[in-house]
Structure 1
Amino acid sequence: MNALQAKISADPQAAAQQSQLDRDIASLKTQYDELFQDREQVRLRSSVQTDTDAVKFSVIDPPTQPRAPTAPNRPLLLLGVLVVGIGAGVGVAFALSRLRTSFATAARLEKVSGMPVLGAISEVVTDTVRSGRRQRLKLFAGGAGALLAAFVLLLGLEFAQRGLVA
């Protein structure tokens, strides 16, 4: 080692050449590392691109507008809503009739309560009560008619939109 050191110190030109070679090697090593990293990145990009290129979509039939609606059968749906609405109304009326605590006959009251009934007051139907009942019946008939008219109108609109009406 000492002999080499002595030769280097004795020949300054060889020492300068050695240091130049060391710098060149370091520079080339840095460039090599950068090129190696760039190559790896390019390889990764190309592998990702080939992986994504493996999944390709091809249009077999061009898109078209459907001739029939994709919605549910609306006339049937309207009829179902009408039936469910009427059923709900009947159910609410039945529940309200069960909640009211009135009895049509004295025998029914006696049967439910289990006690003897000493007397009963019958219903007195006056002209005012009759006119009130008639008014409520007219309102009920009008509401039922309006419901039926709305159903027929909605059905007519549906068929008109479909173009099935002549």
Structure 2
Amino acid sequence: LESEHQQLTRDYDVISRQHQTLLSRRESARISGNVEQAADDVTFRIIDPPFAPLKPNEPNKLLMNIVVLVGAIGTGLGIGLLMSLLKPVVSTRATLNKITGFPVLGSVQLIRSPLERRQQLVNTMVFACVALSLVVLFVGISVFQGMDMQLANLVSKMEVLV
């Protein structure tokens, strides 16, 4: 009897485990069926169709270029002013008298040689060329961006026609 009881208990345990696995499979199948049914109930509608804008929204490149140009010029002037305030140069006798409060008995004039004058002229010309190239570069970039915008508008219009 005891042997038969152990055999029946063992069979019951095996059948019980199989029953539990079948129940869990049935439950997972029911859940996945509910998910598929819920997915079928969802419908998508396109409210506004997508489109490519004709011009970019931000940033305003012309305004940004103007700000950069004015900022660069302002920064250069500010650095020059700061340097003249931190390390002032006395260029006249009256200024030296005013700064020190002592009478100035004499002064030595700076007489530049022809080579130094030529070098100063070259330095002035280089500065003028760099400043002019900055302005020309600004105008060129602004014009190029305007042409780029017009070309982009033309291409987008051609794509719409095609």
Q: What is the TM-score when the length of structure 2 is the normalising length?
A: 0.68
- The answer to whether residue 119 in structure 2 is matched with residue 132 in structure 1 is yes
Higher relative contact order (CA 8 A, sep 6+): 2
Q: 2:64 aligns with which of 69, 72, 77?
A: 77
Q: Which runs of 5+ in 2 are unaligned?
A: 152-162
TM-score scaled by length of structure 1: 0.67
Runs of 4+ in 1 over 6 A off after TM superposition: 14-20, 47-56
RMSD: 3.6
Q: 1:62 aligns with which of 42, 45, 49?
A: 49
**Counterpart check, 1:91 vs 2:91:** no
Paired positions, count: 151
Between structure 1 and structure 2, the one with the greater Rg is: 1
8 Å contact 2:55–2:149 — kept in the other structure?
no
**Residue in 1 that maps onto 2:98:** 111
Q: For 1:1-166, list aligned pairs within 5 A.
A: 22=9, 24-42=11-29, 45=32, 58-163=45-150
Using the aligned pairs only, state the percent identity.
Answer: 32
1:153/1:45 CA distance change after superposition, 3 Å: same
Partner of 1:163, secondary structure, is helix
Residue aligned with 2:52, SS = coil
Rounded Cα–Cα distance in structure 2 between residues aligned with 1:87 and 1:153: 21
Q: Which runs of 5 or more residues in structure 1 are unaligned? A: 1-13
Secondary structure of 1:63's aligned partner: coil
